[in-house]
Each structure stands twice: as C-alpha cells, then as structure tokens.
C-alpha cells in the first residue's frame, strides 16, 4: 500500500521543522498517546492510518475507517506568556488553509476547533496539555465515502471526497498541513492571535449565525482577538465565551 502516513512516504512532503522526528504506527489507540509525556522536541509528530481509540473533544470519540484520514499529533512547547486555549484556533487555521490549498474551495473555522467545508465538519482539533508541552491532535476526513462517515456526530460530518467528488493524497495533505501549522504557530508565538487575526476573522463560520449555547438561543457576533466567542442572547445580553460547544441553525 503506498497511500500510508509512514515516515518514508511523508518525508518528501516535509518542508520545515515540523514533522521531525516522525513516529508512526500502522494502527494505534490514539496518536495523542504516542506523544503525551514522550519528552520529544517541538515539531515531533505521530501519525497512524487507523486509531482504535481516537479521542475527540469533550470526552467524545473520533472515528474513521482505516487509511481514509489525516490523523496526526504534533508536539508543541509554547512560551509561557501565550494563552494556551488559543492553540486550537491556530491549528484550525492551518488545517483550513491546507484544505483550501488542496480543494480550491473556501473553508471556515467553527469556533473553537472545527473546520467546515460547505457547512460540513471535515476536521477537528484536540489540544492536550502535559508538563508545559501541548500535544495538538488534528483529524481531517479525507477519502471517506458518505457511508463511511459517522452518523451520530453533533455537527454533520463530511470528507473532502464527499464534498468535492475527488480523492486526495493524504501524505501530501499532511506535509502541507505541517508547513502551514509551523507558519501559523510561529506567528502566534511572536504576536499572539493578533498576528493571525485577519486570516482567522475572514474564516469565522459562526459570525452572524443563530446559535444555541447551553440550550439558550443567541446570535454569534464574532471570534474576538483574544480567541473568545462573542455572542448576544435573545434577551440582548452580550457576553464572551472562553470554551464550550455551540450548535448552529442550518
Ligand atoms: C474533535 O473535533 O472532537 C477533535 C478531534 C481530534 C481528532 C484527532 S485525530 C489525531 C489525534 N488523535 C486523537 O486521538 N485525536 C486527535
């Protein structure tokens, strides 16, 4: 099988610091577990072609069919002064850009960690902290058919294939993702979210949408420069959310 995320196949697509060293298991529980507590340097990555215990946000599972997806965890060692919850937005921006470059379509970021293409969730980000380092896990649905996508996901899922009709080289997409993640991360290290705000703001999926937050109806106003989501409830109260889950009306 040539379509694998193994180091030999991915190496020709690595253009920067991120991607070295590269741990790979054809199948594993979760790529997050390969890196958490590993002591590996910043930029180290772990990939697999299938996870049996893929981890999603809020204790959910992240499921995929074998050899269909980009499944990667990246070791980051951010400076102390940075606000770590912002990293999910930084990684979501990189994933959005990589998906746009591959498909030629506009993708959006649904705060705080989803990547949307044609109103379907095609990628998710999970950031986990351990001993001052952050392992950022990124899952992109690439070549799944409609039947292979989860049926019980809170946000309707799609894959690049179901949304464009084409299949994609996962190793090339991974290389592009890591290169863009490095660029976004370096910008964030230097100047925080302010450095990326133009690109983030332009891809804000929830802006102006009717949403539900903890069962309460509201309108999402915007992702703020500090990474919070500003909302206005139907009672006219404006507030900003640090984390949580927002459902949107189709
Ligand atoms: C979410 O949307 O809930 C986040 C999904 C994150 C999935 C990725 S796949 C690679 C890495 N390994 C995991 O177990 N989870 C992340």
Pocket of ligand 1, beta carbon within 6 A: 30-32, 51, 54-57, 60, 62, 71-73, 113-114, 124-126, 137-139
| Ligand 1 atom nearest 121 alpha carbon | 2
At residue 2, does pLDDT exceed 90? no
Q: Residue 1: its pLDDT value, please?
A: 44
pLDDT of residue 215: 82
Q: Which residue has the CA at smallest separation from atom 7 of ligand 1? A: 139
pLDDT tens string 38-49: 999 999 999 999
Sorting pLDDT into bands at 50, 70 and 90, what band is 77? very high
Answer yes or no: is pLDDT of 102 > 80. Answer: yes
- Mean of the pLDDT values across residues 121-149? 96
pLDDT of residue 106: 98
Q: What is the mean pLDDT of residues 75-102?
A: 96
% residues pLDDT > 90 (the chain)? 92
194-230 burial, b if ≥16 CB within 10 A, otherwise e? Answer: ebbbeebeebbbbbebebebeeeebbbbbbeeebbbb
pLDDT of 88 over the 50 cut: yes
Per-residue pLDDT, 216: 87
What is the CA(233)–ligand 1 centre distance, in A?
31
178-223 confidence digits (pLDDT tens) = 999 999 999 999 999 999 999 999 999 999 999 998 888 999 999 9
Q: What is the pLDDT of residues 119-132, one digit of tens each?
A: 999 999 999 998 88
C-alpha to C-alpha distances, 115 to 27, 72, 210, nearest whole angstrom: 25, 15, 18
Cα(237) to ligand 1 centroid in Å equals 33
Q: pTM for the whole thing?
A: 0.97
């Amino acid at each position: 099988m040539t379509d694998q995320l193994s180091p030999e196949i991915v190496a020709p697509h690595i253009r920067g610091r991120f991607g070295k060293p590269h741990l790979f298991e054809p199948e594993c529980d979760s790529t997050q577990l390969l890196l958490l507590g590993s002591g590996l340097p910043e930029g180290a990555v772990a990939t697999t072609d299938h996870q049996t215990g893929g981890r999603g946000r809020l204790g959910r599972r992240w499921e995929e069919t074998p050899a269909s997806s980009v499944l990667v965890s990246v070791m980051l060692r951010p400076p102390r002064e940075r606000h770590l919850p912002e990293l999910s937005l930084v990684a979501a921006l990189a994933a959005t850009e990589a998906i746009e470059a591959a498909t030629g379509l506009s993708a959006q970021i649904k705060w705080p960690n989803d990547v949307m293409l044609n109103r379907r969730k095609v990628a998710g980000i999970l950031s986990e902290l351990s001993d001052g380092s952050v392992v950022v896990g990124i899952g992109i649905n690439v070549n799944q058919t409609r039947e292979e996508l989860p049926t019980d996901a809170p946000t309707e899922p799609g894959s690049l294939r179901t949304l464009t009709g084409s299949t994609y080289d996962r190793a090339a997409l991974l290389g592009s993702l890591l290169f863009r993640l490095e660029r976004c991360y370096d910008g964030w290290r230097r100047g925080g979210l302010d450095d990326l705000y133009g690109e983030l703001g332009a891809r804000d999926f929830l802006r102006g949408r009717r949403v539900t937050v903890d069962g309460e109806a509201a309108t999402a106003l915007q992702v703020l420069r500090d990474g919070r989501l500003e909302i206005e409830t139907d009672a006219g109260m404006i507030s900003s959310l640090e984390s949580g889950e927002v459902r949107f009306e189709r």
